[in-house]
Chains A and B, each alone.
Chain A
Amino acid sequence: GQSLEQPSEVTAVEGAIVQINCTYQTSGFYGLSWYQQHDGGAPTFLSYNALDGLEETGRFSSFLSRSDSYGYLLLQELQMKDSASYFCAVSSASKIIFGSGTRLSIRP
């Protein structure tokens, strides 16, 4: 079967750092993506990893270890506007599968 696991909820403090993990089991793998979705809004693309290692884009970084079938999204200098749901997604040859999402709540 194919599945992605990520925590359902994470709470962090404004200005802090938070890491959202994603583990996957899929038949065929091309890359791991991360999307952000605010309540009532559409998903927006954050990052994509096809190779092992860390990709950095501003305050957000994404990591992939293909041998461990594991990745994470790292958010630094958290701002209140970062409160949203974050989805990891695995791409394969014929489809893309999304995790159930991690709801990130940020406290002042």
Chain B
Amino acid sequence: GAGVSQSPSNKVTEKGKDVELRCDPISGHTALYWYRQSLGQGLEFLIYFQGNSAPDKSGLPSDRFSAERTGGSVSTLTIQRTQQEDSAVYLCASSTSNRDFTDTQYFGPGTRLTVL
């Protein structure tokens, strides 16, 4: 079946605007993860969902970031009042379940966000 898809692939926005990033996980995967990757850096874990629930939101960088998941499928990551330091590639991944982050995660192609 199809892999993880993300949209848009690229997003350029002006500082102060809100942006919404979308992730469609692999069908049947109950766990979904969001990461941020700055140029040449490793992955920064943001948040994960088990079903529609996000047990721990402490990884979100600030209160400008929020995420939701509905129907146990699609998830959106929203960044309000974007800042230039938010510029990065935002990656989404999904797995069949989340047994303490031990299940193989399948990554989407990412959304490259540029804040001018």
State the A residues within 8 Å of B (CB).
30-31, 41-45, 48, 50, 87, 89, 91-101
Do B107 and A99 touch (CB < 8 A)? no
Sample (7) of A-B pairs whose CB atoms are under 8 Å apart: A89-B43, A91-B101, A94-B56, A97-B45, A98-B44, A98-B45, A100-B41
Which of B33, B55, B105, B106 counts the most chain A CB atoms within 10 A?
A: B105
B30 to chain A, nearest CB (A): 16
Q: Is B51 an interface residue (CB 8 A)?
A: no
Which B residues fall within an 8 A CB radius of A?
33, 35, 41-45, 55-56, 59, 91, 93, 100-102, 104-110
Which one of A44, A89, A95 has the highest number of Cβ atoms from chain B below 10 Å of its Cβ? Answer: A95
Q: Are A95 and B56 in contact (CB under 8 A)?
A: yes
**Nearest CB of A to B22, in Å:** 16
Main secondary structure of the interface of B (DSSP, over half): loop
**Residues of chain B contacted by A31 (CB below 8 angstroms):** 100-102
* B44 surroundings in chain A (CB, below 8 A): 98
Known contacts A97-B45, A99-B42; is A45 also within 8 Å of B101 by CB? no
User: Which residue of the partner chain, among B42, B59, B102, B107, contacts A44 with CB atoms under 8 Å?
Assistant: B107
Query: A48 to B56, alpha carbons, bound, how many Å?
Result: 23
Extra pairs beyond A45-B105, A94-B56 (7, CB < 8 Å) = A42-B110, A43-B91, A48-B104, A92-B101, A98-B42, A100-B41, A101-B41
A92 lies within 8 A of B100 (CB): yes
**Could you say which residues of chain B place their CB within 8 Å of the CB of A45?**
104-106
- Docked Cα-Cα span, A47 to B93, in Å, equals 16
Q: Are A43 and B59 in contact (CB under 8 A)?
A: no
Distance of A98 Cα from B59 Cα, bound (Å) = 13
